[in-house]
Structure 1
């Protein structure tokens, strides 16, 4: 991890001892945790009394994620569907619109057995004591963060009864409708934000995100309310406006010092899951669409996000929807000649790699940024839901999106004059405001591909051209969701069937509740 003078140093420390102790206490696998509970001579329907700080550390690290789900859900599916990255291997199924059951279920398989159970255990432990109102509120906010990712990917999911196997013996939780889940999550954020009290006990070093700073947690809660409120624009514009207005009135992030992220600067500890993927798999390249978008806008992030494999070569992105057998048919392909007269670059050396500065195992994992908040405020102003100036919010968002990259390290620093030149060349355009704002969100949330994918489904921006890959399962359309874990058909058949009867077939093409076709 590298320091940034805009971010307080105490937030850049992973507090390795706390994290390792939490992992030792909470254990690292579902099977090990089962054995742990069986060995404890305690009532399994009561929350255990491990220090809440250790529990929160474990929850935050698990939401940041291991290589497993970041590889499959965040990168293989989300990042290529949204055309940030492109690859040739067919197991990178996202930009070929293929279905691989275990990959589609990867987040489900990690979040439910581990995080959901631990959050419910922590919630019971801290929410029964009024003196621990801050611990309870922070836990509720983290719970919303976890479930908003799950429901945005799958739609109707176990929510109200999830994670209660040990506490209440519920082994076949009901699938709640996404409409119910969103209404409940927004209410949870409102109640948690209002309950936070600076004078009460809070988390300490176990809180990797804000070190127990209740005012920053309040801003995060209202910023999440802004994000989730905006999700409703297609399905219920009135409710969207109501929640967006509440979020703005409550107080959202005000600078890059408010960013919600998990640090990972100790490579011997819990590593950045995206970085672990890039270390293990060199398949991803910046996509042709993304590279061309940045070149068209003369975007200084091009050489922060990407790196040409051969010095001095032009910036070229890999087209989505190709494999090792078909890429040679694309106009960008340059075959390598015999060794005695090789052109440079040729073959895969034509295409930009992700820059090393953004693919480290010691990089921060961003949950929500101030840049996203400002850009959402710009959209709210355009929609007439906010009295602020959309041009100012747009400029603030773009500037923040370029400045926060310095948190990756010195090679990611974009000089201020380059930022100002970009804003001068790409000023706010009222005639194309929603397109412009949401393209900037897409560019700003690189590597938080869950959010890029969700915001594209919400807005339709950027305007992506679907690929037509042989054998795709979507009819050549970009998937609208991921499919449920296949074992649910056996493990929880009644509730699984109720969900698909209500939501629609368990297919990649089925739209979730807030993703109304327009």
Structure 2
């Protein structure tokens, strides 16, 4: 018996599954797989058949259930589990728990360096910790913005993280309290990221080790989240935004498109742009561009139409009886969201998602852009926030220009073709942006707030989680009523993603408390930041 227990602690270690992993490795995996859980090939249902669909940037042309708000329970369970715990096994897809492990490891490393008096080691550990905090806030903000109250403060109480026992039934924190903690974490991140340390570029697939840009993201993200709460906690929103905009030295933010937080895919399987992956690896043809976004683009003669959408295949296909010198005449037709099944269009009759997204394996997913920040500033200027430089009109113009320059640069970089309608011309980004700027109707119903919201909605094309959040917060743009389906017809846009059914059995008491006031799984009680807003319909 004594020989059986000799060196037992060493023998029970599985070299294929080490108990301690370098925080850089954990961080890299979390950045890829959690971004993927929102946008990427391994989590496309969060965006394409969830947030982006319900915000009416996309529309379904077959298997229309989700466009009728008739979600699949197993898919909602998977979305939730991916975010928190990831997926173990051969794929080893990380979740937010892995990020918490990485934070614990880098803090241990920092403590060792502090004992040793290693100044550079301390600085490096600080900036890595700061970047991880920004990522934590970003991932959790998207999660709470779609579900509302979620497990947060008790979510990762495990033995591995130093707790006496693992908590398998964490409480659901109120969204307001979660947001309060976000602001604390982003303040901490801003301080940590000013430490003149460096981040291993291999661990950072967003900024390739650029700590300065992580710091810009921390404060730009804080501006987004302070804006998010403006209709439910105006005083805190105003104080936070004033602090940020009045002291850009202490709180640097994005200053150009080069600062955008985005993940660039390699273009080889499975690291491919998610809309391309859906079409060509999964061999699906489920999605068209929504009528809602097509109408917004056409309203102001917006040339981004030719980037966000493709011409209908019917308009680009030569008829059998056509003359030999036939020339295609591109048409752009959006698909109405949630039509009755009998009205589902043929694939050739509506516009697919644009070439830059659907046809490019090495495309991008983005968290936040400089263009979005300009629209945040425009809304702040409209609300009289101190420290904002510019008027709502001038800042909207800057945001539109930033969006055009980014989109035009990307279609050039990816050699993505555009097909203007007969008689139209795509020029340079500044000239084409000026057309939109000059066509804006600031006196339309909803006024300046509506114009800002609509242009932010367009600049955030393909970022479904963000446009879904802002649609519920501002009520704009006006969307189509869903005419098809049998379960939720006439109820309007869901207030939230439904909680996964697995929570009812594994965390019943806490799930039940969080579900008070919710009816039909998605209606009734609204998400906190949108509780004072009504969505507008066409």
Normalised to the residue count of structure 2, the TM-score between the two structures is: 0.80
Per-residue CA deviation, residues 185-222 of structure 1 (Å, 9 max, x unaligned), is 11111111122234224333210111222211111000
Q: Distance in 2 between matches of 1:39 and 1:237?
A: 55
Pick the aligned partner of 2:131 from 134, 138, 153: 138
**Which sections of structure 2, spanning at least 5 residues, go unmatched?**
1-10, 87-94, 112-121, 317-328, 419-426, 534-538
Pick the aligned partner of 2:52 from 70, 75, 79: 79
**Residue 207 in 1 paired to residue 204 in 2?**
yes
Note if contact 1:274-1:447 (Cα within 8 Å) is conserved in structure 2: no
Q: Distance in 1 between matches of 2:201 and 2:174?
A: 35
Q: Distance in 2 between matches of 1:58 and 1:119?
A: 9
Per-residue CA deviation, residues 336-371 of structure 1 (Å, 9 max, x unaligned), is xxxxxxxxxxx4322111122212332111110110
Q: Give the C-alpha shift of residue 164 in structure 1.
A: 3.5
Question: In the alignment, what sits opposite 2:89?
Answer: none
Rg (Cα) greater in structure: 2
**Residue 57 in 1 paired to residue 28 in 2?**
yes
Pick the aligned partner of 1:304 from 286, 304, 307: 307
In structure 2, do the counterparts of structure 1 residues 163 and 92 end up closer, same or farther at CA, with 3 Å as the change threshold? farther
Note if contact 2:372-2:459 (Cα within 8 Å) is conserved in structure 1: yes
Q: Distance in 1 between matches of 2:189 and 2:213?
A: 13
**Residue 411 in 1 paired to residue 416 in 2?**
yes
Question: In the alignment, what sits opposite 2:332?
Answer: 315
**Residue 276 in 1 paired to residue 273 in 2?**
no
Question: In the alignment, what sits opposite 1:354?
Answer: 353
Q: Distance in 2 between matches of 1:415 and 1:401?
A: 13
Give matches, 1:211-290, under 5 Å: 211-248=208-245, 249=247, 250-268=251-269, 270-279=271-280, 280=282, 281-290=284-293
Per-residue CA deviation, residues 166-185 of structure 1 (Å, 9 max, x unaligned), is 43322222211111101001
- Partner of 1:270: helix, strand, or coil? coil
Q: Give the C-alpha shift of residue 469 in structure 1.
A: 2.1
- Partner of 1:385: helix, strand, or coil? coil
Which 10-residue stretch deviates more, 64-73 or 273-282?
64-73
Q: Give the C-alpha shift of residue 110 in structure 1.
A: 0.8
What count of residue pairs does the alignment treat as equivalent? Answer: 458
Question: In the alignment, what sits opposite 1:34?
Answer: none
Question: In the alignment, what sits opposite 2:499?
Answer: 484
Q: Give the C-alpha shift of residue 447 in structure 1.
A: 1.1
Per-residue CA deviation, residues 351-401 of structure 1 (Å, 9 max, x unaligned), is 111122212332111110110001111110111014321222111110111
Q: Give the C-alpha shift of residue 151 in structure 1.
A: 0.3
RMSD, aligned α-carbons: 2.4
In structure 2, do the counterparts of structure 1 residues 418 and 70 end up closer, same or farther at CA, with 3 Å as the change threshold? farther
- Partner of 1:353: helix, strand, or coil? coil
Q: Distance in 2 between matches of 1:86 and 1:133?
A: 44
Q: Distance in 2 between matches of 1:69 and 1:438?
A: 30
Pick the aligned partner of 2:453 from 438, 462, 471: 438
Q: Distance in 2 between matches of 1:89 and 1:374?
A: 37
**Residue 326 in 1 paired to residue 339 in 2?**
no
In structure 2, do the counterparts of structure 1 residues 483 and 263 end up closer, same or farther at CA, with 3 Å as the change threshold? same
Question: In the alignment, what sits opposite 1:498?
Answer: 513
Note if contact 1:286-1:306 (Cα within 8 Å) is conserved in structure 2: yes
Per-residue CA deviation, residues 447-476 of structure 1 (Å, 9 max, x unaligned), is 110001001111011011322323132643
Question: In the alignment, what sits opposite 1:341?
Answer: none
Per-residue CA deviation, residues 309-350 of structure 1 (Å, 9 max, x unaligned), is 1321422111112144234xxxxx7xxxxxxxxxxxxx4322
Pick the aligned partner of 2:74 from 79, 83, 102: 102
Note if contact 1:479-1:508 (Cα within 8 Å) is conserved in structure 2: yes
Q: Distance in 1 between matches of 2:269 and 2:378?
A: 41
**Which sections of structure 1, spanning at least 5 residues, go unmatched?**
1-37, 328-332, 334-346
Per-residue CA deviation, residues 73-106 of structure 1 (Å, 9 max, x unaligned), is 211122221111112324541x312232123333
